[in-house]
Chain A
Amino acid sequence: MTALADAPRPRRLRLRPTFTVAVAAIMLAAVFALAILGPLWPGFDPDTQNLFGAKIPPIQDWAHPFGTDPLGRDLFSRLAWASGVSILIALAAVAISACLGLALGLVAGWRGGWLDGLLMGVGNTQLAIPVVLLLIVLVAALGASTVLLVVLLGLTNWVAYGRLTRSLVLTLREQEFIVAAKTAGASDAWIILRHLLPNAVPKVLILAAFDTGVIVTIESSLSFLGLGVQPPVPSLGLMIAEGQRYLQTDPFLTVFPALAIFCLIGGIQFAGQGLAARPPSRGGR
């Protein structure tokens, strides 16, 4: 609408406190508080086993508010640690994917030609292979470790970022401010780093927010299968795997980590929606 061209506008639009965003904030705050503040609790001890005090239900013993696991380890401590591990793995993997995707997308979109064809060809081929299946094969072949998991998750998920960035670059490169920079003599590096990258980052961040939830899911699934985080380090997926044998008798062993995963994924998803629904900043039409 041209009519509002001169209406005053605030410089930055903040996340509006809609219901979705509020719910997201509560869910995320719960998990992050658990992961960050949990280790500060004086009784924090995720490792000490006590076979005589195994599977104590929650609220029975105040030394173990969430109860203990089948080996008698404090469930609250393990849950806090596992949440932290899952969050860190997801963030690290997403960071790798986003950076890789940004870099390749910028180059492919800006240079075009055969390089574009090659990079997007590789990406599309990768998309055609189911990620979880690919990860299972790779982990089976290379051996399971947390670092490997992070790297593999990062490497297998760049395509979405690459394609998003490339499509942004393709529209930006026709924009007159880019052409103007070119006619002022700007180098490729100048245009990519100073114009294209800053314009692409916000959109990539929104995708990353959504993607973090997906990565938490994949990591949990792999850990559940024993292909991800290795014991004794806990992860939410691993804890569910350990608890499922006792699902009939001691459901709390599964319910707590499942709740944590739910809050983490749901919170990220809702927050992502809140971000994406933000009114677009006025750039062009």
Chain B
Amino acid sequence: MSAPTPLLSIRDLAIEFATPAGPVTAVRGVDLDLAPGRTVAVVGESGSGKSTMAAAINGLLAANGRIARGSILFEGRDLAQATPAELRAVRGRGIGLVPQDPMSNLNPIQRVGRQIAEALSVHGLMRGAAAWSRAVELLDMVGIPDPGRRAKQYPHELSGGMRQRVLIAMGLACRPRLLIADEPTSALDVTVQKVILDEMAALTAEMGTAVILITHDLALAAERADEALVMFRGDMVERGRAAEVMRSPRAEYTRRLIAAAPTLASRRLVGDAVPAAAADPRPRRDRVLAELVGVRKEYPGRRSLFGREPAFAAVEDMTLEIPRGETVAVVGESGSGKSTTAKLLLRIEDATAGDIVFDGRAVTRLKGRALFDFRRRVQPVFQNPYGSLDARWTVGASIEEPLRIHGLGDAVSRRTKVLDALDAVALPREMLKRLPAELSGGQRQRVAIARALVLEPELVVLDEAVSALDVIVQAQVLELLADLQARLGLSYLFISHDLAVVRQIAHHVHVMRRGRVVESGAPEKIFTSPETDYARELIAAIPGAAPRAAPPAPEQPALRRA
């Protein structure tokens, strides 16, 4: 290793969780050396044990977890043997933490400045006014404009990016020698992600803080870390210089991870779009399945002390068409109106103005029976694999639900259809009787897709449908979607913030910003020669967007099962 005396040295670490079914080993055989001021990335999918390892370093394992073997030497002291009191002293002071979710890791009823000041005062570094002014200083350091005013605000008054900055400020408040950043930017838009990671890197470099960056994103790790450690199901499968690991991965798993990660060089999963309207001899009604024509969606302003605030237009003058059998992607950051567009097309929200046309008929104001019939032809798949299934329903019941709602067939024929749907999404038939809690994220998302398909819809609205999945699983689900489209002639409206994914799957792309489409076109065109600054910015912010050698991956391995 580069430095003679590592700040943190982990040897042969194994972590176990006691479960009713007996002990489960979550992490085994991890070795790690981290010199002061360096950054190591721990890369892996969910369930790989990367967060568990971070929790162990910090002494924050869940109650049923314990370090079964190995040592964690931090500045010469073994944290694996430390008492709770010793760990408390190290936590925050010696080791800072930036947690994953900016929404749930701040106290909603406390001013953010106070929360940072608290981090200082619990370690007796500063109190009262001094702690407060240091908190303001820290907010300034992490790039929050007008920090004096922001410090007095509550978390809900800050955007997601700003909240994450507050968490970074808290993690760095006591000038720790080591900062553990657990997926610090996964919940943020790409452009915000880049700015925040830049700032975090600058700050830790300035303070000489070593960083453990926990991420599922290998490209991000290669860009931000000196060293990378790849974990797979609790095992450390590869360790080396980050760039090296990326360029010439040794472990089979790392190769798969690199191959699956969508980049701007990834293979496209669909053919190019059918030639433009002029060249297509079919009548318009046969060519276009759905379209939005000048659609506007307004939300009434909040009522305040002085009457109503002005109405807010989430979507403005939206026009797009979805050709039959093709995929239309809408990309943009959170708040750009892309999810509202999905809801309008699904008729969950009603358009304020404009028309939604489906199969040649306006469906904007459909009600009752007509709306019910329309619903059968358009089905959604949502983002969150944990919220998309009722925890009390078996997989079979969930997939069957739309059929029962529509009163289609009898129990026997419905069961056949459910089994067909399971086959279509490549899930084993034994899944039928399982409950969602027994399924992985990728399996749940497959079930959600099966539920959407069981009514044999013509249009599937995919609202960030693969965003919450690990890269390998994401690649599998994307392939599944492309395959289903080819076989069943489905049309997709694909809502995403991930341009690399969009490039793989879409025939047409619309870039949205603040409720408006700012750029449209074929994916290749937008990605190779974006016209607007905004599109350029989005593309530049993708980790690994900078030209680099394509990984010498073997042939795409056959990835069928989640």
Q: Which residues of A contact B (CB under 8 A)?
A: 1-11, 13, 175-177, 179-187, 190, 195, 198-199, 281-285
Contacts and interface: CB of A to CB of B under 8 A. Distances in A.
B143 interface: no
Interface of A is mostly: loop
Contact of A3 (B47, B389, B438, B448): B47
Contacts of A176: 382-384, 387-388, 448
Given A1-B51, A3-B26, A183-B347, 7 more contacts: A1-B55, A6-B233, A180-B380, A180-B382, A185-B376, A185-B402, A195-B390
Contact of A283 (B51, B52, B391): B391
B24 A4 contact: yes
A188 to B, nearest CB: 12
24 contacts: A2-B47, A3-B27, A3-B49, A3-B52, A4-B24, A4-B47, A5-B46, A5-B47, A6-B233, A6-B440, A176-B382, A176-B388, A177-B388, A179-B380, A180-B382, A180-B451, A180-B452, A186-B401, A186-B405, A190-B405, A199-B391, A199-B392, A281-B391, A284-B391
B388 A180 contact: yes
Interface stretch (B14-22, B33-41, B194-202, B509-517): B14-22
A186 B55 CA distance: 43
B455 interface: yes
B437 interface: yes
Contacts of A281: 391, 437
A2, A5, A284 interface centre (most CB from chain B within 10 Å): A2
A3 to B, nearest CB: 4
B227 to A, nearest CB: 21
Contacts of B391: 199, 281-284
Interface of B: 17, 19-21, 24, 26-27, 46-52, 55, 62, 233, 346-348, 371-372, 375-376, 378-380, 382-384, 386-392, 398, 401-402, 405-406, 435-438, 440-441, 448, 451-452, 455
B24, B371, B387, B441 interface centre (most CB from chain A within 10 Å): B387
A185 B406 CA distance: 7
Nearest to A6: B47
Given A184-B405, A185-B405, A195-B390, A179 B348 contact: yes
A4 B24 CA distance: 9
- Closest A-B pairs by Cβ, 4 of them: A283-B391, A3-B52, A184-B402, A176-B382
Contacts of B388: 176-177, 180
A283 B384 CA distance: 12
Nearest to B434: A11
Contacts of A7: 17, 19, 24, 26
B375 A3 contact: no
B17 A182 contact: no
Contacts of A1: 51-52, 55, 62
Given A1-B62, A185-B375, A185-B405, A9 B47 contact: no
A8 B21 contact: yes
Nearest to B386: A284
A282 B437 contact: yes
Given A1-B52, A5-B47, A184 B17 contact: no
Contact of B441 (A5, A10, A198, A199): A5
A199 B438 contact: no
A222 to B, nearest CB: 38
Nearest to A175: B387
Nearest to B22: A8
A264 B469 CA distance: 50
A13 B49 CA distance: 24
Contacts of A190: 405
B17 A199 contact: no
Contacts of B346: 183
B387 A11 contact: no
A238 B375 CA distance: 61
Contact of A184 (B62, B375, B389): B375
Contacts of B347: 183
A4 B26 contact: yes
Contact of B448 (A6, A9, A180, A199): A180
Contact of B401 (A2, A181, A285): A181
Given A175-B387, A176-B383, A183-B378, A2 B46 contact: yes
A125 B55 CA distance: 47
A59 to B, nearest CB: 47
A165 B495 CA distance: 33
